[in-house]
């Protein structure tokens, strides 16, 4: 096994302990006189890091697109995250994070790479509590090498891609959903995702098929909803699945990730018969195999509206 495969395997095993690795980088300053902000992205989404590569400007490209570059025969768009987030650059961003997620490959231009830290998901908190902007979905809290408290803003890269390439991420056209996909059952589907854009798309998909639903921002929030519905089912002496016919979950979420949520559901006698559908931007054979090992009933890669509606209907019919 190569060194890269060993690292991938080690990082995949972290998910069994509700842990992950965060790549830290900097994007200029939010206000004059302040230090450059610290931001983060899940290492699973980063394929490689390159420096000092020439970027070709593209005529008529959106404001946040610096241009494109060629990597081993593949043309990749370069997105200037400093410009997109509205920060003031301290220098020209010369480091490129080559990322792969949601079936796309792109480069994020950043000013500096700081570190890779290993965290527990309960060290990550929804960004709403900090009044963060559109592109920050959570705040990671951890201690630095000298014991000092550090805060890193975790970017909602799915929202980034939606805003930079809106034509590639359309809303769900409810009128185009086939009649065969309509859901006539009862209960409320629980759908969990920390990305505001992903929650919007999930809500549109569930509304399009006629399914009542509740949206959660984190795995922990989804778990608490399940416990509440379990109490209601016990009082009415009915199976919990009559209250919750399906759980849809992202993998990367604050407080409790989708792997841990899935394992908790499948380990609990009250919930084990509720199908769990993973809806994630983490693609690749290794990730999909790990999803199956966690006990999920299905996996759908973000974002294809028709595939999402179809996968939901198949899971409900299981």
pLDDT by residue (tens digit) across 221-248?
Answer: 999 999 999 999 999 999 999 999 999 9
SS3 86: coil
Q: Cα(158)–Cα(160) distance, rounded to whole angstroms?
A: 5
More confident position, 312 or 68: 68
Q: Cα(140)–Cα(114) distance, rounded to whole angstroms?
A: 14
Identify the CA nearest to 155 among candidates 71, 78, 97: 97
CATH architecture of 170-317: 3-Layer(aba) Sandwich (3.40)
Rounded to whole angstroms, the maximal C-alpha distance in the chain is: 66
SS3 196: helix
The CATH number of the structural domain formed by 3-167 is 2.40.50.180
Residue 140: predicted pLDDT: 95
For residue 226, is it left (φ>0), alpha (ψ between -120 and 50) or beta? alpha
- Domain locations in the chain? 3-167, 170-317
pTM (predicted TM-score): 0.86
Dump the DSSP string for 22-53. EEEEE--BSSTTSPPPEEEEEGGGEEEEEES-
Please provide residue 152's backbone torsions phi and psi, each rounded to the nearest 5 degrees. -120, 135
Residue 3: predicted pLDDT: 45
Cis peptide before 78 (omega within 30 of 0): no
């Amino acid at each position: 096994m190569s060194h890269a495969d060993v690292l991938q395997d080690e990082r995949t095993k972290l998910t069994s302990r509700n842990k992950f690795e965060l790549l830290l980088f900097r994007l200029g300053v939010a206000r004059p006189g302040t230090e450059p902000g610290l931001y983060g992205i899940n290492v699973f989404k980063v394929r490689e890091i390159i420096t000092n590569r020439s970027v070709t400007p593209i005529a008529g490209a959106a404001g946040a697109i610096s241009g494109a570059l060629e990597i081993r025969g593949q043309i990749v768009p370069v997105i200037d995250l400093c410009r997109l987030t509205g920060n003031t650059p301290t220098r020209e961003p010369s480091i490129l994070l080559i990322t792969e997620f949601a079936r796309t490959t792109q480069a994020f231009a950043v000013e500096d790479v700081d570190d890779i830290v290993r965290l527990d998901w309960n060290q990550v908190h929804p960004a709403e509590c900090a009044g963060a902007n559109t592109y920050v979905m959570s705040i990671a809290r951890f201690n630095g090498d000298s014991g000092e408290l550090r805060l890193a803003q975790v970017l909602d890269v799915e929202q980034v891609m939606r805003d930079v390439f809106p034509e590639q991420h359309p809303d769900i056209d409810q009128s185009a959903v086939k009649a065969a996909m309509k859901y006539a059952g009862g209960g409320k589907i629980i759908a969990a995702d920390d990305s505001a854009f992903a929650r919007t798309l999930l809500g549109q998909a569930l509304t399009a098929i006629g399914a009542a639903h509740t949206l959660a921002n984190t795995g922990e929030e989804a778990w608490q909803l399940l416990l509440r519905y379990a109490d209601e089912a016990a009082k009415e002496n009915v199976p919990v699945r009559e209250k919750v016919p399906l759980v849809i979950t992202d993998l990367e979420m604050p407080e409790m990730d989708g792997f841990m949520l899935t394992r908790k559901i499948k380990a609990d006698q009250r919930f084990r018969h509720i199908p769990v559908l993973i809806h994630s931007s983490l693609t690749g054979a290794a990730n999909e195999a790990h999803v199956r090992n966690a006990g999920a009933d299905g996996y759908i890669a973000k974002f294809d509206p028709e595939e999402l509606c179809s996968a939901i209907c198949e899971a409900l019919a299981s």
